[in-house]
Chains A and B, each alone.
Chain A
Amino acid sequence: MPDLLLELRSEEIPARMQRRAAEDLKKLVTDALVARGFLYEGAKAFSTPRRLALHIAGLPARGEAVREERRGPRVGAPEAAVQGFLKGAGLTSLDQATTVTDPKKGEFYLAVIERPGRETLDVLAELLPEIIKNFPWPKSMRWGAASAEPGSLRWVRPLQSIVATFGPETETPEVVPFTVGGITAGTVTYGHRFLAPEPIEVRRFDDYIQALERAKVVLDPERRKDVILHDARDLAFARGLDLVEDEGLLDEVSGLVEWPVVLMGSFDESFLDIPAEAIRATIRANQKCFVLRKSGSEDLAPAFILVSNLVASDGGQAITAGNERVVRARLSDAKFFWETDKATRLEDRLPKLDTIVFHEKLGTQGARIARIAALAKDLAPLVGADPELAERAARLAKADLVTEMVGEFPELQGLMGRKYATLQGHHESVCAAIEEHYKPVGPSDRVPSDPVSIAVALADKLDTLAGFWAIDEKPTGSKDPFALRRAALGVIRLILDRGLRLRLLEQVGAADRSLAGRAGADPQDLLGFFADRLKVYLRDQGARHDLIDAVFALPGQDDLLMVVRRVEALGQFLDTEDGKNLLAGYKRAANILRIEEKKDNRAYDAAPDSTLAAAGEPAEQALAEALAKARETASAAVAREDFSGAMQALSTLRAPVDAFFQDVTVNAPDPKLRENRLLLLNALRAATREVAEFSKIEG
């Protein structure tokens, strides 16, 4: 079966876009083929800085023939109908149609239209230009003389050539005949920009990948990553060092070279006074180089790994020397920042924060810090922290934002503050909180355990949420510019992982009051946001979202720890036979009530008359008694926060409910009796509400 080889060679594609683009290319081409009925055996896409490539194996040479029967008018139908039929079926005269006899309708015309399968080559020539024209680059551009006209081809950077061949393994493949943006697909590509500048003629994937390899291009990004990783480890090992591995950097670097050549450079020992994280940040961010550790130690070594794209004629000496120079200059800057920063105490930086706007509508960073500090102090006793320490930590937590180092490397915020605070001799918990108050960032980040860190982390996040709620800057759809979902998840994880008892509504209210003078946030709305985030979080852990809804539907559910405990107990209860049956009984009762309440146009929400029930059927009487008892027990258990106890109490209702539905006719002829029976069903509804809103439970 024939294969397709497609290469789109361009000027350098940003490293961060290459993988996604290769996958998009594969998906777009294979989807388009499948949509036209062309199945294939396998497809793989590749990327380098200068090309996207796609190999699709096992395509048919042509599509399947299509046979279509089209029924026409009956024989002897008016001329207009016959003409319409001929035109629609693409026939010139009735001779080309056959006639068929239908036992009911008599004789009518039938056209058999046979369309031969289309050549795959033609189909490719039709769909590839469209895919190229509409390619989903995150950012694309126009270029060259063609860009004078509207609608010229857009690509991530100028597209230079296209290889597109199609054919079976044993024969010379054909070029897929198309032209897009003035570029005609052919069989010529180029290898490494410097190491193999001559044109290369390619036919099919096997010789393409080999020819590229000879022309110093490793097509597969995974292979480039392997080469870099192994060579880097080996080089490090040979010098008694360990590579500090960095998957993100490895990905990026593998997208910056077609032919990776790993080299090692060094820098002056004296730079090791700078905090390791800052060394790593500068070498990583600015130079895209890896740092190294002394073997078996946590300490950095005064050396780095660089990945060049060139087999240099001097073995890489000039390249290493050049990179060392730049690293030296960068580390000199970092050292300067570090020394300068140390000269000023964090406390003395606070006035500067009063001049920096956090958000136009939420005031300065200084004002924000004052709010967070007050909130942290209030929260401290609730999380077992010393209020004075929490307040102090909160005051200092953002001070490093105006240090030189954080100005240069924002990702070091918190960490640098902790370093400076430690040097100043601040309390250990204060230092830790300065770094940890940003945590947890996302679902897998570590949750701080020091109570001071917890207090400040909660205060920071609650202030942010209350603030942006107050100015109505809530996340919408995929837009969450202030990372409010992450903040809410942070609060949730702090509460659940550390087992904190917190009335969120009160805390949100406190955060909100401190925003004095601004329109208040709607605390209920914000609580709803927490509920949504909690649902997402618990769902990821396998909990049922309907159970979470069922608990949140009860009034006053703002203690997330209790919500989760209740959801757990409810889940366990519903897994039991008693639970399932009670739920079924509840649904039945709720259905009857819904129908009858609608019919009667009134609510049955009063308490049932116990004497009337006692006078009725035995099952009726039993249920009334069981309900009163179960409700009381459940309510008391809930008050003790004993949710399984409450479920236990409800489970005693199963038998009386079953018996009631079996023995008792709700819609009794006696209206008094009927009313009381409906009220009894309502009492069941009310009893279940002690633990959850059963109407929200599915199944």
Chain B
Amino acid sequence: MSQKKSFQGLILTLQEFWAAQGCVILQPYDMEVGAGTFHPATTLRALGPKPWKAAYVQPSRRPKDGRYGENPNRLQHYYQFQVILKPNPPNLQELYLASLKAIGVDLTLHDIRFVEDDWESPTLGAWGLGWECWCDGMEVSQFTYFQQVAGFECAPVAGELTYGLERLAMYVQGVENVYDLDFNGAEGPDRITYGDVFLQAEQEYSRHNFEAADTAMLFRQFTDAESACRSYLDAGEPEAGANSQRHRMAQPAYDQCIKASHVFNLLDARGVISVTERQSYILRVRELAKACGAAWLRTAAGGA
């Protein structure tokens, strides 16, 4: 296996590719999130008039998708490679295709298709139009033109690309089971597979997510995060009589919104949230996201 086709090689290639397009290459956000979109580099930076280009890997946690390491395609923890370009350049589709080429997808051999898929995140109060990108019938990326984030119109619109790294790597490597993925491209005893790195974690976290996660604690954490978010937003308001009307604590408040969202996902996986309650929890997180978005728009980076 060439270094380039290994799981980590794939990440390095994508980083290089997007760095060459002028993106800042960021590191994963240091909190548990359900998708790369939650990273403030996407959610918050998508708001406001300032141009922004970034790319990063984001470990994504979907507690409900855990399968105790027994399903070859499903994971409760996986990686997304996220690219955000604001405003979207006119040739974003071409750039995306060039990135596929860079990671070794031969465009004269493979059938790449853009199939309608409108993206919506009810918890982030965000939506956009775009596609699932198919490679020979398999969805390998999401491609979205953000129209609204945190309840605010995106002006200008950002283009977001999300690569499902495991899927893409399985495709590039021709592997049927995610745990068989070549992680580091080394030979002999140095060879490391995805399973070597993550199989045990998948088993342990599935157990945790479905059986052990302390629900009483999680319910508490949800309320705590919710009220912390509100109080940080209050505390970040400009002092009375201050010259600047800028908000001063949008990002710490948003961290609490992320936290509430993840705690909700854990509670959902534990099956302790009924169908009707589910909606109200989602709404509560959305309210936080909206308030954080509003605060962000009153910061320097938000264009105020």
Contacts and interface: CB of A to CB of B under 8 A. Distances in A.
Contacts of B128: 141
Interface in B79-116: 87-90, 93, 106-116
Interface stretch (A74-82, A316-324, A631-639, A675-683): A316-324
A403 B18 CA distance: 44
A147 B159 CA distance: 12
Q: Would you call the interface of chain A mostly helix, strand, loop, or mixed?
A: loop
Contacts of A310: 108, 110-112
Contacts of B159: 143
Contacts of B129: 139, 141, 156-157
A143 B130 CA distance: 11
A326 B159 CA distance: 27
A145 B156 contact: yes
B88 to A, nearest CB: 6
Contact of B73 (A149, A308, A329): A329
Contact of B111 (A145, A319, A357): A319
Contact of A318 (B88, B109, B115): B109
B110 A318 contact: yes
A50 to B, nearest CB: 9
B233 to A, nearest CB: 26
Interface stretch (A9-17, A239-247, A493-501, A655-663): A9-17
Interface residues on B, range: 35 or more
A322 B135 contact: yes
Nearest to A194: B107
Contacts of B274: 355, 357
Contact of A319 (B49, B89, B136): B136
A184 to B, nearest CB: 14
A670 B111 CA distance: 96
A65 to B, nearest CB: 44
Given A308-B111, A356-B275, A357-B275, A141 B147 contact: yes
Nearest to A286: B137
B204 interface: no
Given A141-B157, A144-B157, A194-B107, A323 B87 contact: no
A325 interface: yes
B108 A194 contact: yes
B138 interface: yes
User: What range describes how many residues of A lie at the interface?
Assistant: 35 or more
B176 A325 contact: yes
B157 A142 contact: yes
Contacts of B155: 147-150
Contacts of B89: 144
A363 to B, nearest CB: 11
Interface string B164-183: 00000001000010000000
Nearest to A14: B116
A139 B118 CA distance: 10
Nearest to A16: B116
A144 B87 contact: yes
Nearest to A311: B108
Contacts of A288: 115
A145 B110 contact: no
Is chain B's interface secondary structure helix, strand, loop, or mixed overall?
A: loop
Interface in A298-329: 306, 308-310, 312-314, 318-319, 321-323, 325-329
B276 interface: yes
A351 B210 CA distance: 20
Contacts of B72: 329
Interface in A9-63: 11-12, 14-16, 49
A158 interface: yes
Interface in B51-93: 72-73, 87-90, 93
Interface string B260-303: 00000000000000111000000000000000000000000000
A287 interface: yes
Contacts of A145: 87, 156
B112 A194 contact: yes
B177 to A, nearest CB: 10
A256 interface: yes
B45 to A, nearest CB: 15
A357 B278 CA distance: 12
A312 B110 contact: yes
Contacts of A327: 137
A355 B276 CA distance: 10
A329 B87 CA distance: 37
A360 interface: yes
Contacts of A319: 109-111, 136
A323 B136 contact: yes
- Which of B129, B136, B154 has the most A CB atoms < 10 Å from its CB? B136
Contacts of B157: 141-144, 147
Contacts of A11: 93, 114
B107 A287 contact: no
A308 B136 CA distance: 8
B154 A147 contact: yes
Contacts of A356: 275
**Taking each of B49, B93, B112, B114, which has the highest tally of chain A beta carbons within 10 Å of its own beta carbon?**
B114
B7 interface: no
Nearest to A49: B114
B145 interface: yes
Nearest to B90: A144
A329 B111 CA distance: 18
Nearest to A17: B116
A328 B89 CA distance: 37
B137 A322 contact: yes
A143 B145 contact: yes
A139 B128 CA distance: 10
Interface in A254-294: 256-257, 287-289
B27 to A, nearest CB: 28
B131 interface: yes
B147 A142 contact: yes
Given A143-B88, A144-B87, A158-B90, A312 B156 contact: no
A12 B137 CA distance: 16
Contacts of B118: 139
A148 B156 contact: yes
Nearest to B128: A141
A186 to B, nearest CB: 16
Nearest to B147: A141
B2 to A, nearest CB: 18
Contacts of B106: 318
Given A144-B156, A158-B90, A308-B111, A326 B147 contact: no
B111, B156, B157, B275 — most chain A CB neighbours (10 Å): B111
Interface string A557-593: 0000000000000000000000000000000000000
Nearest to B155: A148
A322 B116 contact: no
Contacts of B90: 144, 158, 160
A14 B113 CA distance: 11
B284 to A, nearest CB: 18
A360 B276 contact: yes
A334 to B, nearest CB: 13
Contacts of A15: 115-116
Most buried by B among A150, A312, A327: A312
A144 B92 CA distance: 10
Contacts of B171: 322
B252 to A, nearest CB: 28
Interface string A476-488: 0000000000000
Contacts of B136: 308, 318-319, 321-323, 325-326
A313 B108 contact: yes
9 contacts: A11-B93, A156-B129, A157-B130, A309-B111, A309-B113, A321-B136, A355-B274, A356-B275, A357-B275
* Shortest Cβ-Cβ A-B pairs, 9 listed: A322-B136, A14-B116, A148-B156, A12-B114, A323-B137, A308-B111, A147-B157, A141-B129, A147-B156
Given A11-B114, A147-B87, 14 more contacts: A12-B116, A12-B131, A147-B155, A148-B155, A157-B130, A306-B137, A313-B109, A319-B109, A319-B110, A322-B136, A328-B176, A355-B274, A356-B275, A360-B276
